[in-house]
Chain A
Protein backbone atom coordinates (compact mmCIF):
# COMPACT_ATOMS: atom_id res chain seq x y z
CA UNK A 1 0.00 0.00 0.00
CA UNK A 2 1.17 3.51 -0.75
CA UNK A 3 2.61 5.27 2.27
CA UNK A 4 1.37 8.81 2.43
CA UNK A 5 2.25 11.58 4.80
CA UNK A 6 0.27 14.57 5.87
CA UNK A 7 1.87 17.71 7.21
CA UNK A 8 0.11 18.56 10.45
CA UNK A 9 -0.06 22.33 10.63
CA UNK A 10 -0.81 23.68 14.06
CA UNK A 11 -1.38 27.18 15.33
CA UNK A 12 -0.17 27.63 18.92
CA UNK A 13 -0.36 23.86 19.40
CA UNK A 14 -3.91 23.53 18.00
CA UNK A 15 -4.22 21.45 14.83
CA UNK A 16 -5.75 23.55 12.05
CA UNK A 17 -9.42 22.55 11.75
CA UNK A 18 -9.24 22.43 7.93
CA UNK A 19 -6.94 19.40 8.21
CA UNK A 20 -9.59 17.08 9.65
CA UNK A 21 -11.59 17.04 6.43
CA UNK A 22 -8.41 16.43 4.40
CA UNK A 23 -7.31 13.54 6.65
CA UNK A 24 -10.76 11.96 6.36
CA UNK A 25 -10.73 12.31 2.58
CA UNK A 26 -7.31 10.65 2.34
CA UNK A 27 -8.35 7.91 4.75
CA UNK A 28 -11.36 7.15 2.57
CA UNK A 29 -9.01 6.66 -0.37
CA UNK A 30 -7.60 3.70 1.56
CA UNK A 31 -4.13 5.12 2.10
CA UNK A 32 -1.69 4.37 4.89
CA UNK A 33 -1.46 7.74 6.58
CA UNK A 34 1.43 9.11 8.57
CA UNK A 35 1.00 12.47 10.23
CA UNK A 36 4.15 14.59 10.15
CA UNK A 37 4.02 17.11 12.95
CA UNK A 38 7.01 19.46 13.12
CA UNK A 39 7.74 20.59 16.64
CA UNK A 40 4.43 19.42 18.12
CA UNK A 41 3.91 18.00 21.57
CA UNK A 42 3.46 14.20 21.25
CA UNK A 43 0.61 13.83 23.73
CA UNK A 44 -1.33 16.73 22.34
CA UNK A 45 -0.88 15.54 18.74
CA UNK A 46 -2.11 12.02 19.62
CA UNK A 47 -5.13 13.39 21.43
CA UNK A 48 -6.13 15.85 18.72
CA UNK A 49 -5.65 13.36 15.89
CA UNK A 50 -7.34 10.35 17.50
CA UNK A 51 -10.19 8.62 15.71
CA UNK A 52 -9.30 9.82 12.22
CA UNK A 53 -7.81 6.55 10.98
CA UNK A 54 -4.21 7.72 10.91
CA UNK A 55 -1.60 5.01 11.23
CA UNK A 56 1.20 6.89 12.90
CA UNK A 57 2.25 10.33 13.92
CA UNK A 58 5.85 11.31 13.43
CA UNK A 59 6.91 14.22 15.59
CA UNK A 60 9.65 15.89 13.60
CA UNK A 61 11.96 17.34 16.23
CA UNK A 62 13.07 20.92 15.82
CA UNK A 63 16.15 22.57 17.17
CA UNK A 64 14.62 25.06 19.58
CA UNK A 65 16.86 27.84 18.33
CA UNK A 66 15.97 27.15 14.71
CA UNK A 67 12.27 26.40 15.06
CA UNK A 68 11.35 29.71 13.44
CA UNK A 69 13.62 29.11 10.45
CA UNK A 70 11.37 27.93 7.60
CA UNK A 71 14.20 26.14 5.81
CA UNK A 72 15.04 24.20 8.98
CA UNK A 73 11.45 22.96 9.25
CA UNK A 74 11.32 21.97 5.56
CA UNK A 75 14.68 20.19 5.74
CA UNK A 76 13.49 18.14 8.75
CA UNK A 77 10.24 17.35 6.99
CA UNK A 78 12.02 16.22 3.82
CA UNK A 79 14.26 13.90 5.83
CA UNK A 80 11.27 12.43 7.65
CA UNK A 81 9.54 11.78 4.31
CA UNK A 82 12.57 9.92 2.97
CA UNK A 83 13.22 8.03 6.21
CA UNK A 84 9.62 6.83 6.52
CA UNK A 85 9.44 5.84 2.85
CA UNK A 86 6.60 8.26 2.14
CA UNK A 87 5.82 8.63 -1.56
CA UNK A 88 3.03 11.20 -1.36
CA UNK A 89 3.12 14.15 1.00
CA UNK A 90 -0.06 16.12 1.60
CA UNK A 91 -0.71 19.36 3.40
CA UNK A 92 -2.96 22.39 3.35
CA UNK A 93 -2.81 24.98 0.58
CA UNK A 94 -2.99 27.59 3.35
CA UNK A 95 -0.80 30.70 3.39
CA UNK A 96 1.86 29.02 5.52
CA UNK A 97 1.27 25.51 4.15
CA UNK A 98 1.98 26.60 0.58
CA UNK A 99 5.42 27.90 1.52
CA UNK A 100 6.50 24.96 3.64
CA UNK A 101 5.26 22.49 1.00
CA UNK A 102 7.06 24.40 -1.76
CA UNK A 103 10.31 24.35 0.23
CA UNK A 104 9.95 20.66 0.99
CA UNK A 105 9.06 19.74 -2.60
CA UNK A 106 12.09 21.72 -3.78
CA UNK A 107 14.43 19.84 -1.44
CA UNK A 108 12.93 16.51 -2.56
CA UNK A 109 12.92 17.48 -6.24
CA UNK A 110 9.28 16.41 -6.23
CA UNK A 111 6.41 17.95 -8.19
CA UNK A 112 4.04 20.18 -6.24
CA UNK A 113 0.32 20.56 -6.89
CA UNK A 114 -1.48 23.23 -4.91
CA UNK A 115 -5.14 24.04 -4.28
CA UNK A 116 -6.16 20.43 -5.00
CA UNK A 117 -9.81 19.47 -4.67
CA UNK A 118 -9.41 15.82 -5.72
CA UNK A 119 -6.53 13.38 -6.06
CA UNK A 120 -6.30 10.15 -8.04
CA UNK A 121 -3.04 8.46 -7.10
CA UNK A 122 -3.66 5.50 -9.41
CA UNK A 123 -3.85 7.69 -12.49
CA UNK A 124 -1.37 10.25 -11.13
CA UNK A 125 -3.80 13.09 -11.49
CA UNK A 126 -5.21 15.88 -9.38
CA UNK A 127 -7.98 18.38 -9.85
CA UNK A 128 -7.02 21.98 -9.18
CA UNK A 129 -7.45 25.42 -10.74
CA UNK A 130 -5.49 27.58 -13.15
CA UNK A 131 -5.68 31.21 -14.19
CA UNK A 132 -6.81 32.34 -10.76
CA UNK A 133 -9.88 30.21 -10.55
CA UNK A 134 -11.08 31.03 -14.06
CA UNK A 135 -10.50 27.44 -15.14
CA UNK A 136 -10.57 24.03 -13.51
CA UNK A 137 -7.55 21.91 -14.38
CA UNK A 138 -6.65 18.25 -14.31
CA UNK A 139 -2.92 18.02 -13.76
CA UNK A 140 -0.90 14.87 -14.32
CA UNK A 141 2.27 14.35 -12.32
CA UNK A 142 5.23 11.99 -12.52
CA UNK A 143 8.21 11.20 -10.34
CA UNK A 144 9.05 8.98 -7.37
CA UNK A 145 7.59 11.36 -4.82
CA UNK A 146 4.92 14.04 -5.02
CA UNK A 147 3.70 16.85 -2.82
CA UNK A 148 0.11 18.11 -2.65
CA UNK A 149 -1.52 21.15 -1.06
CA UNK A 150 -5.21 20.56 -0.49
CA UNK A 151 -7.67 23.45 -0.69
CA UNK A 152 -8.57 24.61 2.83
CA UNK A 153 -12.24 24.45 3.86
CA UNK A 154 -13.12 22.27 0.87
CA UNK A 155 -13.14 18.80 2.41
CA UNK A 156 -15.99 18.16 4.81
CA UNK A 157 -14.82 17.57 8.36
CA UNK A 158 -15.97 14.21 9.76
CA UNK A 159 -18.41 13.71 12.57
CA UNK A 160 -15.80 12.90 15.20
CA UNK A 161 -16.09 9.65 17.05
CA UNK A 162 -13.95 8.54 19.91
CA UNK A 163 -11.33 6.34 18.28
CA UNK A 164 -7.93 4.98 19.07
CA UNK A 165 -5.04 7.43 19.16
CA UNK A 166 -2.39 6.70 16.57
CA UNK A 167 1.06 5.58 17.62
CA UNK A 168 3.41 8.52 18.06
CA UNK A 169 7.09 8.28 17.26
CA UNK A 170 9.77 10.94 17.36
CA UNK A 171 12.17 11.65 14.53
CA UNK A 172 15.30 13.76 14.98
CA UNK A 173 16.57 14.96 11.61
CA UNK A 174 20.29 15.25 10.97
CA UNK A 175 21.44 18.81 11.30
CA UNK A 176 21.41 20.65 7.99
CA UNK A 177 23.16 23.94 7.35
CA UNK A 178 20.40 26.51 7.20
CA UNK A 179 22.52 29.34 8.57
CA UNK A 180 21.93 31.36 5.40
CA UNK A 181 18.58 32.29 6.92
CA UNK A 182 18.53 33.70 10.41
CA UNK A 183 15.25 34.42 12.17
CA UNK A 184 15.34 37.73 14.06
CA UNK A 185 11.90 38.43 15.43
CA UNK A 186 8.19 38.51 14.80
CA UNK A 187 6.59 41.92 14.69
CA UNK A 188 3.17 42.27 16.27
CA UNK A 189 0.28 41.31 14.02
CA UNK A 190 -1.98 44.24 13.29
CA UNK A 191 -5.22 42.59 12.40
CA UNK A 192 -6.97 39.28 11.94
CA UNK A 193 -7.02 36.60 14.59
CA UNK A 194 -8.38 34.17 11.99
CA UNK A 195 -6.43 33.30 8.83
CA UNK A 196 -8.31 34.40 5.70
CA UNK A 197 -7.58 31.19 3.80
CA UNK A 198 -9.08 29.08 6.56
CA UNK A 199 -11.93 31.25 7.83
CA UNK A 200 -15.50 29.94 7.66
CA UNK A 201 -16.87 33.46 7.43
CA UNK A 202 -15.22 36.48 5.85
CA UNK A 203 -16.41 40.06 6.06
CA UNK A 204 -14.75 42.01 3.28
CA UNK A 205 -14.81 45.75 2.79
CA UNK A 206 -14.33 47.80 -0.37
CA UNK A 207 -14.57 51.37 -1.57
CA UNK A 208 -17.87 51.74 0.24
CA UNK A 209 -16.08 51.50 3.60
CA UNK A 210 -14.83 55.05 2.92
CA UNK A 211 -12.15 55.26 5.64
CA UNK A 212 -9.54 53.26 7.48
CA UNK A 213 -11.38 53.82 10.76
CA UNK A 214 -14.58 52.28 9.42
CA UNK A 215 -12.84 48.91 9.10
CA UNK A 216 -13.00 48.66 12.90
CA UNK A 217 -16.76 48.21 12.42
CA UNK A 218 -16.08 45.08 10.37
CA UNK A 219 -13.58 43.80 12.93
CA UNK A 220 -16.10 44.34 15.71
CA UNK A 221 -18.76 42.42 13.80
CA UNK A 222 -16.26 39.69 12.81
CA UNK A 223 -15.43 39.00 16.45
CA UNK A 224 -18.94 37.69 17.07
CA UNK A 225 -18.72 35.35 14.08
CA UNK A 226 -15.12 34.17 14.52
CA UNK A 227 -14.77 35.66 11.05
CA UNK A 228 -11.75 37.09 9.26
CA UNK A 229 -11.81 40.56 7.73
CA UNK A 230 -10.78 40.95 4.11
CA UNK A 231 -10.68 43.83 1.67
CA UNK A 232 -10.83 44.70 -2.01
CA UNK A 233 -7.89 46.12 -3.89
CA UNK A 234 -9.28 49.65 -3.63
CA UNK A 235 -9.27 49.44 0.16
CA UNK A 236 -5.63 48.29 0.33
CA UNK A 237 -4.48 50.75 -2.32
CA UNK A 238 -6.11 53.55 -0.32
CA UNK A 239 -4.03 52.38 2.63
CA UNK A 240 -7.09 51.61 4.77
CA UNK A 241 -5.88 48.07 5.52
CA UNK A 242 -2.62 46.12 4.99
CA UNK A 243 -1.91 44.18 1.78
CA UNK A 244 -2.20 40.88 3.62
CA UNK A 245 -5.94 41.45 3.82
CA UNK A 246 -6.54 41.84 0.09
CA UNK A 247 -8.79 39.18 -1.42
CA UNK A 248 -8.46 38.70 -5.17
CA UNK A 249 -6.26 37.72 -8.05
CA UNK A 250 -3.34 39.74 -6.67
CA UNK A 251 -4.23 38.94 -3.10
CA UNK A 252 -5.39 36.00 -1.04
CA UNK A 253 -7.61 33.27 -2.53
CA UNK A 254 -10.26 32.30 -0.03
CA UNK A 255 -12.87 29.53 0.34
CA UNK A 256 -15.16 30.46 3.23
CA UNK A 257 -18.62 29.06 3.81
CA UNK A 258 -19.96 32.62 3.75
CA UNK A 259 -18.38 35.68 2.13
CA UNK A 260 -20.03 39.00 2.88
CA UNK A 261 -18.90 41.83 0.60
CA UNK A 262 -19.50 45.28 2.06
CA UNK A 263 -19.33 48.09 -0.50
CA UNK A 264 -17.36 46.01 -3.02
CA UNK A 265 -18.28 46.41 -6.68
CA UNK A 266 -16.95 42.94 -7.59
CA UNK A 267 -14.37 43.18 -10.36
CA UNK A 268 -13.27 40.09 -12.28
CA UNK A 269 -10.02 40.22 -10.30
CA UNK A 270 -11.85 40.30 -6.99
CA UNK A 271 -14.01 37.33 -8.00
CA UNK A 272 -10.90 35.35 -8.86
CA UNK A 273 -10.08 35.40 -5.15
CA UNK A 274 -13.45 34.47 -3.66
CA UNK A 275 -15.60 32.75 -6.28
CA UNK A 276 -15.31 29.39 -4.53
CA UNK A 277 -17.09 30.75 -1.43
CA UNK A 278 -20.11 28.68 -0.42
CA UNK A 279 -22.49 31.63 -0.12
CA UNK A 280 -21.77 35.16 -1.30
CA UNK A 281 -23.75 38.03 0.22
CA UNK A 282 -23.28 41.51 -1.24
CA UNK A 283 -24.27 44.76 0.39
CA UNK A 284 -23.98 47.87 -1.76
CA UNK A 285 -25.71 51.17 -2.37
CA UNK A 286 -25.44 50.61 -6.11
CA UNK A 287 -27.84 47.95 -7.29
CA UNK A 288 -26.04 47.85 -10.65
CA UNK A 289 -22.65 46.90 -9.19
CA UNK A 290 -21.36 43.73 -10.94
CA UNK A 291 -21.29 41.76 -7.70
CA UNK A 292 -25.06 42.12 -7.27
CA UNK A 293 -25.72 39.83 -10.22
CA UNK A 294 -23.04 37.25 -9.31
CA UNK A 295 -23.86 36.55 -5.68
CA UNK A 296 -26.40 34.47 -3.77
CA UNK A 297 -27.97 37.29 -1.76
CA UNK A 298 -27.76 41.01 -2.20
CA UNK A 299 -29.02 43.98 -0.28
CA UNK A 300 -29.27 47.50 -1.60
CA UNK A 301 -28.71 49.97 1.19
CA UNK A 302 -26.42 51.79 3.57
CA UNK A 303 -23.80 49.28 4.64
CA UNK A 304 -23.02 51.10 7.88
CA UNK A 305 -26.61 50.82 9.07
CA UNK A 306 -26.69 47.15 8.19
CA UNK A 307 -23.34 46.36 9.88
CA UNK A 308 -24.52 48.19 12.99
CA UNK A 309 -27.76 46.25 13.10
CA UNK A 310 -25.96 42.97 12.48
CA UNK A 311 -23.30 43.56 15.13
CA UNK A 312 -25.93 44.57 17.66
CA UNK A 313 -28.02 41.47 17.06
CA UNK A 314 -24.99 39.18 17.27
CA UNK A 315 -23.80 40.93 20.42
CA UNK A 316 -27.05 40.57 22.28
CA UNK A 317 -27.95 37.25 20.74
CA UNK A 318 -31.33 38.84 19.99
CA UNK A 319 -32.12 36.79 16.95
CA UNK A 320 -34.61 34.01 17.41
CA UNK A 321 -34.57 30.66 15.66
Chain B
Protein backbone atom coordinates (compact mmCIF):
# COMPACT_ATOMS: atom_id res chain seq x y z
CA UNK B 1 0.00 0.00 0.00
CA UNK B 2 1.40 3.34 -1.02
CA UNK B 3 0.34 6.35 1.03
CA UNK B 4 1.25 9.78 -0.30
CA UNK B 5 1.29 12.77 2.00
CA UNK B 6 1.17 16.07 0.14
CA UNK B 7 2.94 18.72 2.20
CA UNK B 8 3.48 22.43 1.69
CA UNK B 9 6.40 24.51 2.88
CA UNK B 10 4.91 27.75 4.19
CA UNK B 11 6.14 30.88 6.00
CA UNK B 12 6.21 30.32 9.76
CA UNK B 13 3.01 31.60 11.34
CA UNK B 14 5.09 33.84 13.60
CA UNK B 15 7.09 35.30 10.70
CA UNK B 16 6.79 38.96 9.85
CA UNK B 17 5.60 39.08 6.25
CA UNK B 18 7.06 41.83 4.09
CA UNK B 19 5.85 42.56 0.59
CA UNK B 20 8.24 42.83 -2.36
CA UNK B 21 7.51 44.20 -5.83
CA UNK B 22 3.90 44.81 -4.75
CA UNK B 23 2.90 41.25 -5.56
CA UNK B 24 4.95 38.74 -3.62
CA UNK B 25 6.45 38.29 -0.20
CA UNK B 26 10.05 38.29 0.86
CA UNK B 27 10.71 34.54 0.91
CA UNK B 28 13.71 34.79 3.18
CA UNK B 29 11.56 34.31 6.27
CA UNK B 30 11.61 31.02 8.21
CA UNK B 31 9.53 28.37 6.48
CA UNK B 32 7.95 25.37 8.15
CA UNK B 33 5.86 22.39 7.15
CA UNK B 34 2.27 23.56 7.04
CA UNK B 35 0.99 22.71 10.56
CA UNK B 36 -2.00 20.67 9.33
CA UNK B 37 0.35 18.60 7.15
CA UNK B 38 2.10 17.40 10.33
CA UNK B 39 -1.19 15.80 11.32
CA UNK B 40 -1.41 14.29 7.83
CA UNK B 41 2.08 12.75 8.13
CA UNK B 42 1.32 11.41 11.61
CA UNK B 43 -1.99 9.98 10.37
CA UNK B 44 -0.30 8.25 7.45
CA UNK B 45 2.38 6.77 9.73
CA UNK B 46 -0.26 5.47 12.13
CA UNK B 47 -1.95 3.65 9.24
CA UNK B 48 1.39 2.23 8.11
CA UNK B 49 1.70 0.55 11.53
CA UNK B 50 -1.49 -1.43 10.94
CA UNK B 51 -0.54 -2.42 7.43
CA UNK B 52 2.62 -4.48 6.94
CA UNK B 53 3.57 -3.52 3.38
CA UNK B 54 2.65 0.17 3.53
CA UNK B 55 5.03 2.91 2.47
CA UNK B 56 4.63 6.60 3.30
CA UNK B 57 5.89 9.05 0.64
CA UNK B 58 6.03 12.77 1.39
CA UNK B 59 5.42 14.88 -1.72
CA UNK B 60 5.96 18.61 -2.04
CA UNK B 61 5.72 21.22 -4.78
CA UNK B 62 8.08 23.99 -3.82
CA UNK B 63 11.36 25.81 -4.09
CA UNK B 64 14.72 24.21 -3.30
CA UNK B 65 14.34 25.35 0.29
CA UNK B 66 11.32 23.02 0.59
CA UNK B 67 13.82 20.17 0.87
CA UNK B 68 14.02 21.16 4.54
CA UNK B 69 10.29 20.58 4.80
CA UNK B 70 10.62 17.13 3.25
CA UNK B 71 13.46 16.33 5.66
CA UNK B 72 11.19 17.25 8.57
CA UNK B 73 8.43 15.08 7.09
CA UNK B 74 10.84 12.16 6.96
CA UNK B 75 12.08 12.84 10.48
CA UNK B 76 8.43 12.62 11.53
CA UNK B 77 8.18 9.22 9.91
CA UNK B 78 7.78 9.39 6.12
CA UNK B 79 9.88 6.72 4.35
CA UNK B 80 11.03 8.88 1.47
CA UNK B 81 10.34 12.17 -0.25
CA UNK B 82 9.65 13.66 -3.66
CA UNK B 83 10.21 17.34 -4.39
CA UNK B 84 8.66 18.88 -7.48
CA UNK B 85 11.04 21.77 -7.83
CA UNK B 86 9.76 25.13 -9.00
CA UNK B 87 10.72 28.76 -8.56
CA UNK B 88 7.19 30.08 -8.81
CA UNK B 89 3.98 30.17 -6.82
CA UNK B 90 1.31 27.88 -8.21
CA UNK B 91 -2.43 28.08 -7.66
CA UNK B 92 -4.41 25.10 -6.38
CA UNK B 93 -5.41 23.90 -9.86
CA UNK B 94 -1.83 23.89 -11.02
CA UNK B 95 -0.62 22.35 -7.78
CA UNK B 96 -3.13 19.50 -7.96
CA UNK B 97 -2.14 18.73 -11.56
CA UNK B 98 1.55 18.66 -10.63
CA UNK B 99 1.00 16.51 -7.54
CA UNK B 100 -1.07 14.05 -9.57
CA UNK B 101 1.56 13.83 -12.31
CA UNK B 102 4.28 13.13 -9.75
CA UNK B 103 2.20 10.49 -7.96
CA UNK B 104 1.35 8.80 -11.25
CA UNK B 105 5.03 8.64 -12.17
CA UNK B 106 5.63 6.96 -8.84
CA UNK B 107 3.02 4.27 -9.38
CA UNK B 108 -0.07 6.13 -8.16
CA UNK B 109 -1.61 6.34 -4.69
CA UNK B 110 -3.64 3.87 -2.64
CA UNK B 111 -4.36 6.65 -0.18
CA UNK B 112 -3.52 10.37 -0.12
CA UNK B 113 -3.28 12.55 2.96
CA UNK B 114 -2.94 16.33 3.01
CA UNK B 115 -3.54 18.98 5.63
CA UNK B 116 -7.07 20.39 5.49
CA UNK B 117 -5.66 23.73 4.33
CA UNK B 118 -2.37 25.61 4.12
CA UNK B 119 -1.85 28.53 6.48
CA UNK B 120 -0.58 30.86 3.74
CA UNK B 121 -3.35 30.66 1.14
CA UNK B 122 -6.10 29.26 3.41
CA UNK B 123 -7.96 27.74 0.49
CA UNK B 124 -8.32 24.10 1.46
CA UNK B 125 -9.11 23.35 -2.18
CA UNK B 126 -6.14 21.34 -3.45
CA UNK B 127 -7.44 18.11 -1.93
CA UNK B 128 -10.78 18.54 -3.69
CA UNK B 129 -8.98 19.31 -6.97
CA UNK B 130 -7.01 16.08 -6.55
CA UNK B 131 -10.25 14.23 -5.86
CA UNK B 132 -11.78 15.60 -9.07
CA UNK B 133 -8.69 14.86 -11.19
CA UNK B 134 -8.47 11.30 -9.88
CA UNK B 135 -12.24 10.83 -9.58
CA UNK B 136 -11.57 9.67 -6.06
CA UNK B 137 -13.60 10.54 -2.97
CA UNK B 138 -12.11 13.54 -1.14
CA UNK B 139 -12.98 14.47 2.42
CA UNK B 140 -11.68 17.36 4.51
CA UNK B 141 -11.52 18.20 8.20
CA UNK B 142 -10.88 14.57 9.02
CA UNK B 143 -10.41 13.87 12.74
CA UNK B 144 -10.51 10.06 12.72
CA UNK B 145 -9.55 7.36 10.18
CA UNK B 146 -9.86 3.60 10.52
CA UNK B 147 -9.05 1.46 7.50
CA UNK B 148 -11.30 -1.53 6.92
CA UNK B 149 -10.19 -3.53 3.86
CA UNK B 150 -10.98 -1.35 0.84
CA UNK B 151 -12.71 1.42 2.72
CA UNK B 152 -11.90 4.06 5.30
CA UNK B 153 -14.28 4.77 8.17
CA UNK B 154 -13.77 8.42 8.89
CA UNK B 155 -15.13 11.18 11.07
CA UNK B 156 -15.17 14.77 9.82
CA UNK B 157 -15.53 17.76 12.09
CA UNK B 158 -17.79 20.39 10.66
CA UNK B 159 -19.00 23.84 11.58
CA UNK B 160 -20.09 24.38 15.16
CA UNK B 161 -18.08 21.27 16.08
CA UNK B 162 -20.58 18.81 14.61
CA UNK B 163 -18.99 15.45 13.82
CA UNK B 164 -20.15 13.33 10.93
CA UNK B 165 -19.26 9.73 10.14
CA UNK B 166 -18.67 8.58 6.59
CA UNK B 167 -17.54 5.41 4.88
CA UNK B 168 -15.20 6.28 2.05
CA UNK B 169 -14.02 3.93 -0.67
CA UNK B 170 -10.24 3.59 -1.23
CA UNK B 171 -8.27 5.02 -2.85
CA UNK B 172 -9.31 8.40 -1.49
CA UNK B 173 -7.97 11.82 -0.50
CA UNK B 174 -8.17 12.84 3.16
CA UNK B 175 -7.58 16.34 4.56
CA UNK B 176 -6.26 16.14 8.12
CA UNK B 177 -7.58 18.46 10.82
CA UNK B 178 -5.95 19.05 14.19
CA UNK B 179 -8.14 16.61 16.06
CA UNK B 180 -6.80 13.68 14.01
CA UNK B 181 -3.77 13.09 16.26
CA UNK B 182 -0.99 14.67 18.28
CA UNK B 183 2.06 14.90 16.01
CA UNK B 184 5.13 13.47 17.68
CA UNK B 185 7.99 15.85 17.18
CA UNK B 186 11.18 14.21 15.96
CA UNK B 187 14.00 13.30 18.31
CA UNK B 188 17.67 13.77 17.41
CA UNK B 189 18.01 10.10 16.28
CA UNK B 190 14.90 10.54 14.08
CA UNK B 191 16.50 13.55 12.44
CA UNK B 192 19.80 11.75 11.85
CA UNK B 193 17.99 8.72 10.44
CA UNK B 194 15.97 10.93 8.12
CA UNK B 195 19.15 12.22 6.48
CA UNK B 196 19.69 8.78 5.01
CA UNK B 197 16.21 8.56 3.54
CA UNK B 198 16.03 9.26 -0.20
CA UNK B 199 14.52 12.33 -1.81
CA UNK B 200 13.74 12.36 -5.54
CA UNK B 201 13.84 15.75 -7.18
CA UNK B 202 11.69 16.41 -10.25
CA UNK B 203 11.60 19.69 -12.10
CA UNK B 204 8.13 21.14 -12.47
CA UNK B 205 8.84 21.83 -16.13
CA UNK B 206 9.79 18.18 -16.73
CA UNK B 207 6.30 17.07 -15.75
CA UNK B 208 5.11 18.35 -19.14
CA UNK B 209 1.77 19.47 -17.83
CA UNK B 210 -0.81 20.70 -20.31
CA UNK B 211 -1.58 24.37 -19.78
CA UNK B 212 -4.82 24.77 -17.83
CA UNK B 213 -7.69 26.81 -19.28
CA UNK B 214 -8.18 28.66 -15.99
CA UNK B 215 -5.88 30.18 -13.42
CA UNK B 216 -5.57 32.60 -10.53
CA UNK B 217 -2.69 34.95 -9.97
CA UNK B 218 -1.88 37.42 -7.23
CA UNK B 219 -1.35 40.79 -8.92
CA UNK B 220 -1.03 42.93 -5.84
CA UNK B 221 -0.18 42.44 -2.19
CA UNK B 222 -0.29 45.03 0.55
CA UNK B 223 0.50 44.57 4.20
CA UNK B 224 -2.51 45.04 6.47
CA UNK B 225 -2.13 47.89 8.87
CA UNK B 226 -3.17 47.73 12.48
CA UNK B 227 -5.08 50.87 13.25
CA UNK B 228 -6.79 50.53 16.58
CA UNK B 229 -6.48 53.00 19.42
CA UNK B 230 -7.10 51.10 22.61
CA UNK B 231 -9.18 52.83 25.28
CA UNK B 232 -9.30 51.52 28.82
CA UNK B 233 -12.57 50.46 30.44
CA UNK B 234 -11.99 51.60 34.00
CA UNK B 235 -13.63 50.78 37.30
CA UNK B 236 -14.70 47.67 39.16
CA UNK B 237 -16.18 44.55 37.53
CA UNK B 238 -19.66 46.01 37.63
CA UNK B 239 -18.60 49.23 35.92
CA UNK B 240 -16.57 47.40 33.28
CA UNK B 241 -19.60 45.18 32.50
CA UNK B 242 -21.74 48.30 32.12
CA UNK B 243 -19.28 49.81 29.66
CA UNK B 244 -19.11 46.57 27.63
CA UNK B 245 -22.90 46.63 27.38
CA UNK B 246 -22.79 50.24 26.20
CA UNK B 247 -20.40 49.25 23.42
CA UNK B 248 -22.55 46.25 22.43
CA UNK B 249 -25.69 48.33 22.48
CA UNK B 250 -24.76 51.72 21.08
CA UNK B 251 -21.57 51.26 19.09
CA UNK B 252 -22.01 47.76 17.65
CA UNK B 253 -25.81 47.71 17.95
CA UNK B 254 -25.93 43.99 18.53
CA UNK B 255 -28.30 44.08 21.53
Question: How many A-B pairs with Cβ below 8 Å?
Answer: 275
B50 within 8 A of A: no
Bound-state CA distance A249–B122 (Å) is: 9
* 19 intermolecular pairs with C-beta atoms under 8 Å apart: A99-B124, A109-B214, A113-B216, A132-B119, A135-B17, A135-B223, A138-B220, A141-B214, A142-B214, A180-B172, A181-B167, A186-B163, A196-B159, A236-B178, A245-B161, A258-B254, A280-B228, A299-B243, A314-B245
A258 with B247: in contact, given A112-B92, A299-B240 (CB under 8 Å)?
A: yes
Distance of A194 Cα from B119 Cα, bound (Å): 24
The B interface is mostly helix, strand or loop, or mixed, namely mixed
Is B204 among interface residues, defined by CB-CB distance under 8 A? no
- Within the complex, the shortest CB–CB distance from A305 to chain B, in Å, comes to 4
Q: Give A228-269 as 1s and 0s: 1 = Cβ < 8 Å from B's Cβ atoms.
A: 000000001000001111100110010001101000000111
B13: chain A residues at CB < 8 Å are: 132, 249-250, 268-269, 272
Take A225-B255, A283-B240 as given contacts and tell me if A184 and B166 are in contact as well, using a CB distance cutoff of 8 Å: yes
Does A105 count as interface, using CB distance less than 8 angstroms?
A: yes
Find out whether the CB atom of A111 lies under 8 angstroms from the CB atom of B160.
no
Q: Please give 12 more A-B residue pairs, beta carbons under 8 A apart, in addition to A130-B221, A298-B233.
A: A98-B124, A103-B132, A106-B128, A140-B216, A141-B214, A142-B214, A144-B213, A184-B153, A192-B160, A236-B178, A314-B245, A319-B242
Taken together as a complex, chains A and B put the C-alpha atoms of A94 and B137 apart, in Å, by: 22
**Residues in chain A near residue B14, CB distance under 8 A:** 267-269
* Per-position 1/0 for B236-255, Cβ under 8 A of A: 11101111110111011011
Candidates A109, A110, A297; contact of B247 at CB < 8 Å = A297
Q: How far is the CB of B228 from chain A (nearest CB, A)?
A: 5
Contacts of B161 in A (CB 8 A): 189-192, 242, 244-245
Contact B168 A195 (CB under 8 A): no
> For the complex, what is the distance from the CA of A153 to the CA of B204, rounded to whole Å?
40
**Count, chain B residues at interface, CB 8 A:** 85
Instruction: Chain B residues near A106: list those with CB within 8 A.
Output: 125, 128-129, 131-132, 138
Give the nearest-CB partner of A182 in chain B.
Answer: B167
Please indicate the chain A residues that have their CB under 8 angstroms from the CB of B167 in the complex. 181-182, 184
Complex contacts, B159 vs chain A, CB 8 Å = 94-96, 195-197, 244
